[in-house]
Amino acid sequence: MKTYFSAGNKTLSALLVSAGFLFAQAPLGLAPAHAAAASVAGLPDFTDMVDKVGPAVVNIRTTERLKGREPGGDEDEMQEFFRRFFGGQMPTPRRDGQTPRGNNRRGAPQEQEVQRGIGSGFITSADGYVLTNAHVVAGADEVYVTLTDKREFKAKVLGADARTDVALLKIDGSRLPVISMGDSNKIRVGEWVIAIGSPFNLENTVTAGIISAKARDTGEFLPLIQSDVAVNPGNSGGPLINMRGEVIGINSQIATLSGAYNGISFAVPIDEAMRVADQLKKSGKVTRGRIGVEITELSRDVAETLGLKEGRGAEVARVEEDSPAAKAGVRAGDIVTKFNGTEIAKSADLPRLVGNTAPNTRATITVWRAGKSVDLPVTIAELESDTPAKGGRGPNGSKPKAEAAVNALGLKVSDLPAADRKELGVAGGVKVDAAEGVAGGAGVEEGDVLLQLNNSPITDAKQFNALVSKLDPKKNAVLLVRRGERSAFLTVRPAPVPAPK
């Protein structure tokens, strides 16, 4: 299983040798220069590009202020010993070897600035705007930006967005080196890219590789660029650069089992990062839209059974009460196929499209319901928090007891009381009293509520059993199951009903 870690916000040992790194000298007797040049014919040469863009890549150092005692620790106990037996304080030597004339009184709280982490960034404007990762500056009291010419600036964090892992900093400077922005929509799998940053606090380290994938769904509100460029702790926030010397991403994550580079790294697409940076520059925060639905990935089996040949869309598992989606008429079990005319290829597309829509904007959601496409007008609300939607199980969380099946799906059902329908906000449905056979094997449990069979809404137990009796045992059927506050489609294949003896 892949484990994702941020690519660098923790300071390592100041001496790499003490951390187990080994350095070896190059062997003597190297081949002549012309022979070396011939051996690399046809490979990309990054030298001129690095000379051009390198000065715009910065090292970012973060600190935090801690309150302690002076001189502190075991030294405080020695001070107390000298006070009691010799009537004074133990002299504290200075770094220059001299003895100070006085010390702070014992126990006086002292504020110390200690280093917290190391990261990277890059300058986007000559007047000092700097892009980096949100996790690089998270929790820092002070942020320092160091250029390749060793100039150091104290930076102001204008804003940070944890959802996209983008932060915008400002330093007081002019005529600073700037790196050009590229177009992350035009990148191609297999093209050469480089990363420049400060892995393990080794400033302006250059690594190279290729783009492995253009849109990996590891982020909530954006797909990430995958590459095999070496990225390690300290590279976070640095640029991913194409062969034209343009930034196409911000190095953000690695997939690793060891905590260090394992051949897979991820970058925030620069187009998305700049949209976030523009909002951070204007207001210090990012405003996103929401409609109030919980969605799941639509499986191919479910899509085919419901009549969606292409298998595209996002399955609505739950609709929040009094949310924009609820007011628009979106229901659990709907398949969202379009948002404002843009097709939803996979479930991750919907929150990104909605999130990029300004609050109070009117939009149109297209859903597939009961074999038909329905357009629903919705007014977008503002996303305020990152609180996940609540889930839940039915009233009985244990496996159902085996009972006699009453239909080809292995289900025994009863009418859903009017009070339960009102509480759940549904017009019909049946309650599962027992589940075995193919339905039990598919995951249906006692206490579940069944709302739909294929494209037909379920009204009561009699109608449901009649629908089941007409199912083709050679074809899959799809049940829309409500459990607690969530709904999901389950695929089942009816068992042939044996002929009476």
SS3 328: helix
Domain layout of the chain by residue ranges: 1-9+45-87+108-286, 291-382, 411-492
1-9+45-87+108-286 and 291-382: identical CATH topology: no
Asked if residue 371 has pLDDT above 70, the reply is: yes
pTM of the model: 0.64
Higher pLDDT, 23 or 357: 357
39 is in an annotated binding site: no
Report the b/e string of 325-347 with b at 16+ CB within 10 A.
bbbbebbbbbbbbbbeeeebeeb
Q: What is the DSSP letter of 50?
A: H
Tell me the fold of 1-9+45-87+108-286.
Thrombin, subunit H (2.40.10)
Listed residue (197, 48, 83) closest to 131, CA to CA: 197
135 is in an annotated binding site: yes
Q: Please tell me which of 160-164, 239-243, 446-450, 477-481 the model is most confident about, judged by mean pLDDT.
A: 239-243
428 is in an annotated binding site: no
103 is in an annotated binding site: no
Q: How far apart are CA 79 and CA 435, in angstroms?
A: 75
CATH no. of 411-492: 2.30.42.10
Q: Is 353 exposed, middle or buried, given 0-12, 13-18 or 19+ CB atoms closer than 10 A?
A: middle
Asked if residue 205 has pLDDT above 80, the reply is: yes
Give the model confidence (pLDDT) of 107-139 as tens digits.
555 667 787 889 999 999 999 999 999 999 998
Mean pLDDT of 324-331: 94
Active-site residues: which are they?
135, 165, 236
- 372 near 350, Cβ under 8 Å? no
Q: What is the DSSP letter of 201?
A: G
Pair of tokens at residue 123: 């300058």
Which pLDDT score, from 0 to 100, does residue 365 have?
A: 96
234 is in an annotated binding site: yes
**Which CATH superfamily hosts domain 291-382?**
PDZ domain (2.30.42.10)
Share of the chain above pLDDT 70, in %: 76
> Residue 468: which residues within 8 A CB-CB, separation 6 or more?
407, 408, 409, 411, 453, 494
Q: How far apart are CA 423 and CA 414, in angstroms?
A: 17
Which pLDDT score, from 0 to 100, does residue 496 have?
A: 60
